[in-house]
Amino acid sequence: MTPDDAIEVTGLSKRFKGFALKDVSFRLPRGYIGGLIGPNGAGKTTIIKIIMNLVRPDAGAVKVFGLDHRAHEVEVKSRIGFVYDVPGFWGDISLNAHRRALGRFYPRWNDAVFDRLASEFELPVNKHFKALSHGMQTKFALVMALSHDADLLIMDEPTAGLDPLFRRDLLQRLSTLLQDERKSVLFSTHITSDLARVADFITLIRKGEVALSLPKDELLDRWAVARGDAAMLGRIDPAILRGSRRRAFGVEALVSDVNALRRAIGPEAVVDKATLDDVMVLMTAGDAHAA
Amino acid sequence: MLRKLFMKDVILNGKVFLGLLWLFVWVAYAARDLNGAGMATVLGGVAATLMTVTLGAREERFHAAAVSLSLPITRREFVRYRYLAGHLVGVAAFILTCVLMAIVPWSKPTAAQIFDPRTMMFALVAVSLTIAFGLPFVLRFGVVGLFVGLGSLQLIGLATFLLGAAVSGALGIRGVFVACERIIISTHQGLGSAAYAAELLAAVALVTWMSYRVSLWLIERRDL
């Protein structure tokens, strides 16, 4: 880990009944937005819960800002704003009471920021938490996470359940937040279009394992999808073939080097730059190929 | 940190504290017929149990345990706080009960009976043992776990009772209650001796410490 890493996850393993996280490693440099993508049940939430020390790993290590997340739990968590996949606040208590009860734990808690964000998000701060819609509950969780000047935001599916307008607004806020180079964001989602807008690094989780982890620009610049007949697959170097699936018209192949692909298959196949959607679908739902 | 956790519980669970007030209204009303020593002790234990169980139940109901443990606190601090808060509430309930019984004009027990040092120590023992038994279950398995634990104890008790009946050839259910009463009375009387009191308090402290270590071990392994 370099001193400039916000998160370094090394060799995480966790076994549950019917599911196992296997040797998960990735890093997020400070000052960047990292996205965890993968289908439901891939293990994204488990990884985030391990980082937050809500789940105990069977093996592996987590460092946040160079500090072991368990040995320096208080310091690490003071610097994290966390948004849960299912916000679990006290249902019969008002949002304002939550602010008073929970804000006191954070040394850099700022009531003025809470008030401003609550107003901008049109949150009814005197209402009970359970009276809010799911989208509003997520907004409240975001306000709590953003009100203590956290150096690292960790968000588990924050955009699920939000309307498109607010999703766009949230992503804009995350980009603005990153203008402060000390701040970093890790968020999981299965809405890949959100990450395409803002993420700097992508980590794809498939069946409890890291299928890929690399800068988004490298992925979008160099990865491609080729569409052609079944014979095309045989001409692609297995070293660059990362996933494929058979369609009615032929096959789709995901490759990690567009130039090598063009050299290999010639002009008869259709080649497009890969989107995050292509990457996720072809690497998780299609026939995945090892790197 | 403990103060922050206490304030968090006061703000987020204040309704629970208010919900316990009916107990004290009843105590004030019933003081004319009550045995001060016994009732004050029982009430302290009941209040501590209700608080312990209800805080756990509310966190379960709202799936809020993850929120609590994602705050900048360690699990060790969280467990330590729960033990301290349980004792605090139990002792506060006991003191409030004693004061109420002493000041209502129709109260049967005298102030001297109520503020008897033996009764106070007995209350502390009752509260501590209640917490020592209940908290590990609540912290690791939630409220359902506590009830499973209580149910298991009842089954063990029933089995022991039936075994005893089979051996002796008689169902001496009255004898069980008499034995329990004797234990309570002799403990209460024994607290008059400084040596006995010291031994009992040391034993309770040891049980509480062991319960705390068990809770810590359990919650360190709890996945949320």
Q: How large a percentage of chain A has pLDDT more than 70?
A: 96
Whether B63 and chain A come into contact, CB under 8 Å, resolves to yes
DSSP A94: B
**Would you state the structure tokens that stand for residue B75, as one six-digit string?**
């699990």
How much is the average pLDDT of A116-137? 90
**A91/B62 Cβ within 8 A:** yes
**B224/A54 Cβ within 8 A:** yes
- Residue B139 distance to chain A (closest CA, Å): 14
Q: Which residue of chain B has the CA closest to A71? A: B74
Per-residue model confidence as pLDDT tens digits over A232-282: 777 788 888 888 888 877 888 888 888 888 887 777 778 888 888 888 888
Chains A, B: CB pairs < 8 Å: 72
Q: Which residues of A touch B16 (CB under 8 A)?
A: none
DSSP string of A200-261, one letter each residue = SEEEEEETTEEEEEEEHHHHHHH-EEEEE-HHHHHHS-TTTEEEEEEETTEEEEEES-HHHH
Run of H or E residues at A273:
strand A270-273
Q: Which residue of chain A has the CA closest to B58? A: A90
CB atoms closer than 10 angstroms to residue A31: 17
DSSP string of A120-188, one letter each residue = HTT--TTSBGGGS-HHHHHHHHHHHHHTT--SEEEEESTTTT--HHHHHHHHHHHHHHTTSTT-EEEEE
Give the integer Cα–Cα distance in Å for A40 and A43: 8
Q: Which residues of B touch A91 (CB under 8 A)?
A: 61-62
Per-residue pLDDT at B35: 60
- Confidence class for position B48, pLDDT limits 50, 70, 90: low
**B69/A54 Cβ within 8 A:** yes
Q: Which residues of A touch B62 (CB under 8 A)?
A: 88-91
Interface of B with A in 65-124 (CB under 8 A): 65-67, 69-75
Q: Which residue of chain A has the CA closest to B7? A: A101
Handedness of CA A135, A136, A140, A143 (dihedral sign): positive
Per-residue pLDDT at A289: 57
- Confidence class for position A95, pLDDT limits 50, 70, 90: very high
CA angle in degrees (0–180, nearest 5) for A54-B15-A99: 50
- Residue A101 distance to chain B (closest CA, Å): 4
Q: Which of A84, A88, A90 sits opposite B12 (nearest CB)?
A: A90
- Confidence class for position A286, pLDDT limits 50, 70, 90: low
Per-residue pLDDT at B40: 63
- Residue B221 distance to chain A (closest CA, Å): 7
- Please classify residue B99 by burial: count the beta carbons closer than 10 Å to its beta carbon, then call 0-12 exposed, 13-18 middle and 19+ buried: middle
CB-based contact A285:A40 (threshold 8 Å): no
A204, pLDDT greater than 70: yes
Give the integer Cα–Cα distance in Å for A10 and A30: 17
Per-residue model confidence as pLDDT tens digits over B107-141: 777 777 777 777 778 778 888 888 888 888 888 77
Q: Which residues of A touch B65 (CB under 8 A)?
A: 88
Q: Which residues of A touch B224 (CB under 8 A)?
A: 49, 54-55
- Pairing of β A270-273 and β A250-255: unpaired
A102-106, A174-178, A203-207: least confident range: A174-178
Write down how long chain A is.
291
Q: Number of C-alpha atoms within 13 angstroms, CB side, residue B34?
A: 25
**B70/A106 Cβ within 8 A:** no
This model of the complex carries an ipTM of: 0.81
Q: Which residues of A touch B11 (CB under 8 A)?
A: 93, 97, 100-101
CB atoms closer than 10 angstroms to residue A143: 25
- Confidence class for position A52, pLDDT limits 50, 70, 90: very high
**B67/A88 Cβ within 8 A:** yes
Q: Which of A77, A91, A93 sits opposite B70 (nearest CB)?
A: A77
- Confidence class for position A171, pLDDT limits 50, 70, 90: confident
- Confidence class for position A59, pLDDT limits 50, 70, 90: very high
Residue position matching structure tokens 């968000």: A155
**Would you state the structure tokens that stand for residue B105, as one six-digit string?**
């004009």
- Residue B179 distance to chain A (closest CA, Å): 44
Candidates A72, A105, A148, A155, partner chain B, best to mutate (most B CBs within 10 A): A105
Q: Which of A77, A88, A105 sits opposite B66 (nearest CB)?
A: A88
pTM above 0.90, yes or no: no
**A75/B66 Cβ within 8 A:** no
